[in-house]
């Protein structure tokens, strides 16, 4: 790990303050391993002594974490007013964490000192000097987060700068300037950072996203001389979140030419972003820069025509550099180039008149409510039908029905019956579920699993229903999207109809068909 530039992650502490995000000790250990594999230099594990969970994390980290790239940082506050650092229980918890790095939050806004800490400006400086020098003497490296620095600078420039001097002179390796309220804009922030850098202290940056500028502010600070940047995975954090550390890393390395992580680690960034999302149970926005599912997805026909000639015409980087991939979306906006590229992506040659025929059919289906953007499996089945002149079929449906029973105890049970023909057999099967679609799924698999054992691996991952605009009342057109998985990959299918169960059956039938196609069965 080079000490020339610091990438400092605070997901486990500041990021966990996001509404609805709750991390167990084991979650934090898993996240630390993911972040270490990205190559960040420091991982802030939490505030030992402030809550039992964080204290336990640092205890377990000593035996259960084998970090290859990062050092753990323990977060805490300067000593309380009127105490010596050596006698303060909170400072003792920082020592006892055995973290090689301690990050101290210190007040740098005069009003916060007087109103929140209820002490004098001079005592606040003494608290900073005493705590930093004490922890340094105990063998720990110390960073200082100058809280509310930019607001404090505007209110009392001389005092905010004095806080930086006091921390640096006491032995703090870095003083991170915090835009705690997230209200700064890049140009004004850069001017302030430049002035602080001129003091001679090593300067870091910690930005919140309340004005939508956290990443831009972080980049501006680095441009102005900051050599330590803090942020959170996927932009997690209180209120509007913190600077998205993945976006910051991507921009610094790919736009500014700074080597902040190894190339092979950068290529893992998309995987790590989604792995973090799974652990936190917070869905990653598909439009997240660099790592989002839609970050390199193209829909408009004009874009597709250009990409067919040269992908760089509508992509700012090669998505593989960050472990992502280009995707072509098929929709009513698609032209021939979009369909040809999507066909190529799926392994089909759609040159000549066939591409035009597929485009015409897609636009007709979308005018009736279908969408293929999130239903790649349905689109591939449509392509195969156009190329072969017949639908891919492993079974034919004679009939299906589903009954919903409301029991006296308030429990609802759905029971479905399906009649299908497969491999020369007529099969009747029933299934129960906690809803009509679940019951139909169970019945269809009961009917087919004996003939197609691979269906045992099929799982419905997600189910979305939308009443289409312009439709009203009980005659409304319903669109159903089903995401399925066989444990190795996920795919989407779509169904449309006036009856929500019929639309669901259509999407379900295609999900099963696609599963069997992936399994390599010969279709009729």
The least confident of 46-60, 259-273, 375-389, 461-475 is 461-475
Q: Per-residue b/e over 261-285, b at no fewer than 16 CB within 10 Å?
A: beeebbebbbbbbbbbbebbebebe
User: What would the two tokens of residue 478 be?
Assistant: 């319903």
Q: How confident is the model at residue 314 (pLDDT cuts 50, 70, 90)?
A: low
Q: Over range 199-207, report the average pLDDT.
A: 96
Secondary structure of residue 504 in the 3-state scheme? helix
Q: How far is CA 504 from each of CA 226, 439, 462, rounded to the nearest angstrom?
A: 54, 11, 12
The answer to whether 210 and 176 have CB atoms below 8 angstroms apart is no
Do β-strands 478-485 and 459-467 pair in parallel, antiparallel, or remain unpaired? antiparallel
The full length of the chain comes to 524
CA distance 244 to 136: 30
Across all residues in the chain, what is the average pLDDT?
A: 89
Q: Over range 395-404, report the average pLDDT.
A: 95
Which helix H or strand E contains 220, and what residues bound it?
helix 214-223
Which pTM value belongs to this model?
A: 0.71
Secondary structure of residue 125 in the 3-state scheme? helix
Strands (E), 336-489: 396-406, 412-422, 425-433, 459-467, 478-485
The predicted-structure confidence for 493-519, as pLDDT tens digits, reads as follows: 999 988 899 999 999 999 999 999 988
User: What would the two tokens of residue 413 be?
Assistant: 């049970």
Of the candidates 201, 108, 80, 100, the residue with the CA atom closest to the CA atom of residue 142: 100
Residues pairing with 178 in the sheet: 206
Q: Is pLDDT of 39 > 60? A: yes
For the four alpha carbons of 129, 135, 141 and 142, in that order, the dihedral sign comes to: negative
Q: How confident is the model at residue 332 (pLDDT cuts 50, 70, 90)?
A: very low
The predicted-structure confidence for 214-258, as pLDDT tens digits, reads as follows: 999 999 999 999 999 999 999 999 999 999 999 999 999 999 999
CA distance 162 to 401: 76
Q: How confident is the model at residue 194 (pLDDT cuts 50, 70, 90)?
A: very high
Give the 3-state DSSP-derived string for 440-473, with helices as H, strands as E and coil as C.
HHHHHHHHHCCCCHHHHHCEEEEEEEEECCCCCH
How far, rounded to the nearest angstrom, does the alpha carbon of residue 192 sit from its chain's CA centroid?
31
Q: Is 53 exposed, middle or buried (0-12, 13-18, 19+ CB in 10 A)?
A: middle
State the pLDDT at residue 151.
Answer: 96
The answer to whether 414 and 400 have CB atoms below 8 angstroms apart is no
Secondary structure of residue 428 in the 3-state scheme? strand
CA distance 257 to 250: 10
Locus of tokens 């703090």: 172
Report phi then psi at 231, rounded to 5.
-175, 180
CA distance 518 to 452: 12
Secondary structure of residue 195 in the 3-state scheme? helix
State the pLDDT at residue 338.
Answer: 58
């Amino acid at each position: 790990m080079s000490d020339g530039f610091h990438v400092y992650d605070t997901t486990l502490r500041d990021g966990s303050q996001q509404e609805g995000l709750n991390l167990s000790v084991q979650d934090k250990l898993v996240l630390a391993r993911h972040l270490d594999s990205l190559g960040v230099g420091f991982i802030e594990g939490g505030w030992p002594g402030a809550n039992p969970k964080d204290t336990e994390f640092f205890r377990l980290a000593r035996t259960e974490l084998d970090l290859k790239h990062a050092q753990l940082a323990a977060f805490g506050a300067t000593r309380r007013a009127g105490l010596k650092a050596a006698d303060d229980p909170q400072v003792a918890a920082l020592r006892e964490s055995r973290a090689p790095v301690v990050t101290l939050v210190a007040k740098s806004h005069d009003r916060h000192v007087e109103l929140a800490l209820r002490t004098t400006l001079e005592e606040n400086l003494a608290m900073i000097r005493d705590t930093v020098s004490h922890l340094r003497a105990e063998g720990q490296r110390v960073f200082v987060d100058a809280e509310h620095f930019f607001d404090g600078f505007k209110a009392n420039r001389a005092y905010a700068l004095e806080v930086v001097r006091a921390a640096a002179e006491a032995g703090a390796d870095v003083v991170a300037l915090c835009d705690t309220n997230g209200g700064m804009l890049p140009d004004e922030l850069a001017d302030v950072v430049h002035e602080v850098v001129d003091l001679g202290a090593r300067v870091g940056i910690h930005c919140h996203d309340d004005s939508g500028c956290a990443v831009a502010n972080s980049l501006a600070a680095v441009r102005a001389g900051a050599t330590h940047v803090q942020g959170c995975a996927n932009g997690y954090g209180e209120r509007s979140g913190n600077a998205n550390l993945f976006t910051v890393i991507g921009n610094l390395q790919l736009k500014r030419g700074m080597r902040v992580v190894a190339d092979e680690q950068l290529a893992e960034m998309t995987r790590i972003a989604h792995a973090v999302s799974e652990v936190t149970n917070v869905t990653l926005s598909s439009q997240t820069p660099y790592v989002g599912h839609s970050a390199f997805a193209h829909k408009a026909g004009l874009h597709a025509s250009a990409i067919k000639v040269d992908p760089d015409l509508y992509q700012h980087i090669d998505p593989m550099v960050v472990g992502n991939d280009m995707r072509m979306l098929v929709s009513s906006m698609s032209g021939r180039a979009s369909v040809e590229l999507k066909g190529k992506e799926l392994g089909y040659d759609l040159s000549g008149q066939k591409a035009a025929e597929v485009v015409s059919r897609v636009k007709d289906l979308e005018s009736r409510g279908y969408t293929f953007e999130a239903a790649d499996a349905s689109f591939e089945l449509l392509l195969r039908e156009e190329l072969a002149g017949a639908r891919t079929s492993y079974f034919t449906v004679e009939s299906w029905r589903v009954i919903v029973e409301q029991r006296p105890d308030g429990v609802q049970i759905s029971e479905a019956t399906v009649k299908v023909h497969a491999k020369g057999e007529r099969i009747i099967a029933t299934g129960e579920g906690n809803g009509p679609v679940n019951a139909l799924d169970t019945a269809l698999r009961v009917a087919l699993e004996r003939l197609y054992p691979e269906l045992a691996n099929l799982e419905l991952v997600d189910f979305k229903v939308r009443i289409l605009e312009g439709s009203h009342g009980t005659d409304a057109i319903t669109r159903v999207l089903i995401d399925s998985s066989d444990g190795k990959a996920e795919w989407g299918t779509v169904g449309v109809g006036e009856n929500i169960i019929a639309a669901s059956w259509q999407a379900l039938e295609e999900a099963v068909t696609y599963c069997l196609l992936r399994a390599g069965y010969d279709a009729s």
